[in-house]
């Protein structure tokens, strides 16, 4: 199976867009300020934006689509036919595992970060209580998801490339097992002596 430039372009594009969205989610994390209520008895948290949650979920979806595309084309490595044994297959297995580990890690960071960023503390406590804080997402979760997204892109791209080199589409196996070889004929080159005498 030859490497398809369009498939590579789709995989890389989806990963890069997901990476940009993850970086945007990291920079647009929700921040909160503590303000007193109108009676100056309790305080509550006021959050500025939920854009980070939207960016994180969008990156999550794009990464999922990209992983579906590459594993759909390669039949998730488990259902392929005609994979030759050798270096290409070994590399395909290695990058297959790498792509899945980095994909799952990135998805976990993006989903957990989006969920945590969407969680808002309503009331903080009594006015003047300085030991209580508003619930916010800590720094670096979306950044880790972005880094793992790049690693997933590398693993998916190299996995598709190695799988394409190792996949013969079943042709080579059929050719080697069912091919017709050139052999010497088993028919006699001349008539038996008795037939030769009858012909004379």
pLDDT single digits (tens) 52-108:
899 999 999 999 999 999 988 888 666 555 567 778 788 888 999 999 999 999 999
Q: Which domain holds residue 59?
A: 5-28+53-118+137-166
In a domain, 61, yes or no: yes
In a domain, 124, yes or no: no
User: Does position 185 have pLDDT exceeding 70, yes or no?
Assistant: no
Tokens of 83: 């994979």
In a domain, 159, yes or no: yes
Beta-carbon contacts of residue 63 (< 8 Å; ≥ 6 apart): 14, 15, 18, 103, 106, 107, 110, 149, 152
Domain count, the chain: 1
Please tell me which residue, 180 or 67, carries the higher pLDDT value: 67
Phi, psi of 188 (to 5 degrees): -65, 145
Identify the bridge partners of residue 45 per DSSP, sorted by sequence position. Answer: 34
In a domain, 58, yes or no: yes
Contact of 19 with 150, CB cutoff 8 Å: yes
Helix (H) / strand (E) containing 80? none
Tokens of 114: 């989006």
Tokens of 127: 């006015």
């Amino acid at each position: 199976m030859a490497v398809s430039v369009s498939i590579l372009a789709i995989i890389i594009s989806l990963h890069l867009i997901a990476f940009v969205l993850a970086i945007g989610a990291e920079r647009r994390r929700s921040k909160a300020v503590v303000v007193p209520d109108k009676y100056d008895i309790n305080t509550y948290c006021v959050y500025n934006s939920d854009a980070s949650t939207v960016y994180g979920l969008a990156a999550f979806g794009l990464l999922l689509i990209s992983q579906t595309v590459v594993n759909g084309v390669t039949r998730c490595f488990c259902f392929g036919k005609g994979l030759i044994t050798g270096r290409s297959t070994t590399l395909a297995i290695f990058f297959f595992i790498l792509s899945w580990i980095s994909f799952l890690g990135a998805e976990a960071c993006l989903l957990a970060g989006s969920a945590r960023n969407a969680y808002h503390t309503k009331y903080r406590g009594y006015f003047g209580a300085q030991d209580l804080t508003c619930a916010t997402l800590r720094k670096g979760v979306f950044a880790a998801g972005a880094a793992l997204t790049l690693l997933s892109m590398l693993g998916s791209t190299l996995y598709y490339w190695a799988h394409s080199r190792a996949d013969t589409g079943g042709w080579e196996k059929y050719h080697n097992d069912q091919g017709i070889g050139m052999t010497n004929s088993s028919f006699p080159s001349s008539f038996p002596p008795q037939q030769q005498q009858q012909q004379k």
